[in-house]
Amino acid sequence: MRIGIKSLFSGVLIGYAITITVFIGYAILLTHTNLSENNISLVVSITSVVSVLVAGFDSARYQQKKGWAWGVASGFLYGLLLILLMMIFQGGTISSGRSFSLLILSLAGGGLGGVLGINFKKE
């Protein structure tokens, strides 16, 4: 079980490393080019799905079984943390529809990553 918790947090940290890298890169592009801010929501959604898929993949690849469950757990942890961070940086408010859809995307992406990760085990 200890390796499971460790790989769960490792996967989520890798997912957030991807997220932070993309967000910083996009912020630099917004600052120094004529890109419109209209696509921020799309960039956040795509980045979150890819990052949580990687988090689920990494969390599940060290497990013996139930990769989907490890992936969903990492997706839940990633999504919950992202919602909390959004609330902090947006002054404590976030729409319930936005947080619900973000959590569903995180659970689905993590589950898919977990299914893929369990089939690419690292010994």
* Tens of pLDDT, residue by residue, the chain (123 residues): 566 788 889 999 999 999 999 999 999 999 999 888 888 888 988 998 899 999 999 998 888 888 899 999 999 999 999 888 888 887 777 777 778 888 898 999 999 999 999 888 655
Q: How many separate domains does the chain show?
A: 1
- Kindly state whether residue 28 falls inside one of the protein's structural domains: yes
> What's the CA gap between 63 and 102, in Å, rounded?
26
- Kindly state whether residue 111 falls inside one of the protein's structural domains: yes
- Kindly state whether residue 123 falls inside one of the protein's structural domains: no
- Kindly state whether residue 35 falls inside one of the protein's structural domains: yes
- Kindly state whether residue 83 falls inside one of the protein's structural domains: yes
| Domain housing 85 | 2-118
> What's the CA gap between 79 and 55, in Å, rounded?
11
